[in-house]
């Protein structure tokens, strides 16, 4: 059988796929034997951003992107996180100094991260294929149709495409995204407030001090109403939900709404194929864990394949199986946290809500409870 076109085909040109390509390029004796497949990102109609989201990347993700020379120029540090529940006592504060790190994380614009990654890729030696690939087909090698040609790779690593099939949950919620300006900002502090409708997060915005990125989860019907309200009415609704900790809040710019659901599938959907990032799991945005989990997938998959890249004629399935086994704990814990928190804190049962408040108070008073959770949100489970 003739040699395949590539040793590795990476399908997906978002942050996880690009990070994976850069990580693999560091280990590959011949980076050109690695193909990164997918169309270049295009701005929204009218010259708007490719993606309006601001991303909360934890300390581990920032360290990874910095090591790849792919950290964007503008970011807002998160030094503390204030967690509370609307209408009930109990709150907890997570501080970077307690965990002995320079910051808990940073907030960056999606477009700036993607731009930094694509700039780094230009000098990586990776083979870029801009055609949109169709679903890879497993065989002796992996067959991938892209545009008017068919390519073959020894293994395919899929980070983007249709939703994974396996465990799924519809939350009957939408995330309303906006940028707001605060009258009395607290530099470096992020807020996660659990309301009856869903979690409400205000994160320091890379646009400057006093600006915050809003991620407000609620029913799709309410999200549509709030999205269409005049600014002053929206400000009033947000103020009522969040409170006065940051002074007067004013929305700036457009508002966007996205439906929320969870979909988790296998890490190894077929022989010679591994899934990671959104191809393996899409999660509720509470605590901002989805992309951070995908970046950990990418870093550890690249590390697992480092030796194989020097002898790609050998079978990689054992390496991929070991990777999936090692990632199981991190994926399961992160999925459990992001699935449980929004459902428990939106319960209308008063006993459950009082228990949530007591739990927040216990986390605040007992470092032995708080630190393990904070460590997981900071860097996940590794190994």
Within a domain: 71 = no
Tens of pLDDT, residue by residue over 253-304, are 899 999 999 999 999 999 999 999 999 999 988 878 899 999 999 999 999 9
Count how many domains the chain has: 1
Distance CA 142, CA 274 (A): 11
Assess whether pLDDT exceeds 80 at residue 37: yes
Burial 182-200 (b: 16+ CB within 10 A, else e): beebbebbbbbbbbebbbb
**Higher-confidence residue: 295 or 358?**
295
Distance CA 162, CA 157 (A): 14
The CATH number of the domain holding residue 313 is: 3.50.50.60
Distance CA 344, CA 199 (A): 11
Tens of pLDDT, residue by residue over 88-106, are 666 788 889 888 899 999 9
Span 2-29, average pLDDT = 96
Asked if 312 and 305 count as a contact pair (C-beta separation under 8 A), the reply is no
Q: What domain range includes position 155?
A: 6-50+110-166+262-345
Within a domain: 79 = no
Assess whether pLDDT exceeds 90 at residue 35: yes
Of 253, 227, 234, 19, the C-alpha closest to 118 is 19
Assess whether pLDDT exceeds 90 at residue 370: no
Which stretch of 108-122, 271-285, 357-371 has the lowest confidence by average pLDDT? Answer: 357-371
At 250, phi and psi to the nearest 5? -130, 130
Angle at which helices 367-379 and 317-345 cross, to 10°? 130
Residue 371 binned pLDDT confidence (cut-offs 50, 70, 90):
low
Query: Which residue has tokens 């006093």?
Result: 210
- What pLDDT, on a 0 to 100 scale, did the predictor assign at position 362? 46
- What pLDDT, on a 0 to 100 scale, did the predictor assign at position 126? 97
Assess whether pLDDT exceeds 60 at residue 354: no
Assess whether pLDDT exceeds 80 at residue 14: yes
Within a domain: 300 = yes
Mean pLDDT of the chain: 88
Residue 156: both structure tokens together: 């395919």
- What pLDDT, on a 0 to 100 scale, did the predictor assign at position 92? 82
Give the burial class of 346: count Cβ atoms within 10 A of its Cβ; 0-12 exposed, 13-18 middle, 19 or more buried: buried
- What pLDDT, on a 0 to 100 scale, did the predictor assign at position 374? 61
**Higher-confidence residue: 363 or 117?**
117
- What pLDDT, on a 0 to 100 scale, did the predictor assign at position 352? 47
Within a domain: 275 = yes
Within a domain: 208 = no
- What pLDDT, on a 0 to 100 scale, did the predictor assign at position 206? 93
Question: What is the pTM (predicted TM-score) of this model?
Answer: 0.91
Which stretch of 129-143, 242-256, 333-347, 367-381 has the lowest confidence by average pLDDT? Answer: 367-381
Within a domain: 179 = no
Within a domain: 381 = no
How far, CA to CA in Å, does 273 sit from each of 144, 262, 267, 293, 310?
Answer: 11, 22, 9, 19, 19
Within a domain: 197 = no
Residue 144 binned pLDDT confidence (cut-offs 50, 70, 90):
very high
Residue 163 binned pLDDT confidence (cut-offs 50, 70, 90):
confident
At 180, phi and psi to the nearest 5? -125, 155
3-state secondary structure 13-64: CCHHHHHHHHHHHHHCCCHHHEEEECCCCCCECCCECCCCCEEEEEHHHHHH
Residues of the chain with pLDDT > 70, as a percent, come to: 86
Residue 84 binned pLDDT confidence (cut-offs 50, 70, 90):
confident
């Amino acid at each position: 059988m003739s040699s395949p076109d590539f040793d590795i085909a990476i399908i997906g040109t978002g942050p996880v796929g690009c990070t994976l390509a850069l990580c693999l390029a560091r280990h590959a004796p011949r980076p050109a034997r690695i193909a990164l497949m997918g169309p270049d990102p295009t701005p929204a109609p009218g010259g708007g951003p490719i993606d309006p989201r601001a991303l909360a990347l934890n300390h581990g993700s920032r360290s990874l992107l910095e090591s790849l020379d792919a950290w964007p120029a503008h970011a807002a540090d998160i030094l503390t996180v204030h967690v509370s529940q609307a209408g009930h006592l109990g709150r907890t504060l997570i501080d970077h100094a307690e965990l002995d790190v320079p910051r808990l994380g940073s907030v960056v614009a999606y477009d700036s991260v993607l731009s930094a990654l694509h700039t780094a890729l230009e000098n990586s030696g990776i083979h870029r294929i801009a055609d949109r690939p169709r679903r890879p087909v497993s065989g002796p090698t992996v067959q991938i149709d892209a545009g008017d040609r068919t390519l073959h790779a020894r293994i395919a690593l899929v980070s983007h495409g249709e939703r994974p099939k396996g465990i799924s949950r519809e939350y009957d919620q939408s995330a309303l995204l906006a940028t707001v300006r605060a009258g009395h900002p607290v530099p470096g502090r992020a807020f996660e407030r659990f309301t009856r409708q869903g979690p409400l997060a205000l994160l320091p915005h890379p646009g400057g001090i006093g600006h915050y990125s809003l991620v407000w989860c609620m029913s799709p019907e309410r999200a549509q109403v709030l999205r269409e309200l005049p600014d002053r009415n929206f400000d009033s609704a947000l103020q009522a939900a969040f409170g006065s900790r940051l002074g007067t809040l004013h929305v700036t710019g457009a508002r966007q709404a996205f439906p929320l659901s969870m979909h988790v599938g296998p890490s190894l959907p077929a022989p010679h194929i591994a899934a990671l990032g959104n191809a393996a799991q899409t999660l509720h945005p509470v605590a901002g864990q989805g992309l951070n989990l995908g970046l950990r997938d990418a870093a550890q998959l690249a590390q697992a394949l480092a030796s194989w890249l020097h002898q790609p004629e050998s079978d990689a399935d054992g390496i991929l199986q070991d990777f999936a086994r090692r990632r199981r704990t991190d994926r399961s814990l992160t999925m459990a946290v992001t699935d449980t928190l929004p459902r428990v804190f939106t319960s209308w049962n008063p006993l459950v809500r009082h228990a949530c408040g007591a739990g927040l108070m216990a986390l605040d008073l007992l470092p032995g409870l708080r630190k393990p959770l904070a460590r997981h949100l900071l860097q996940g489970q590794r190994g």
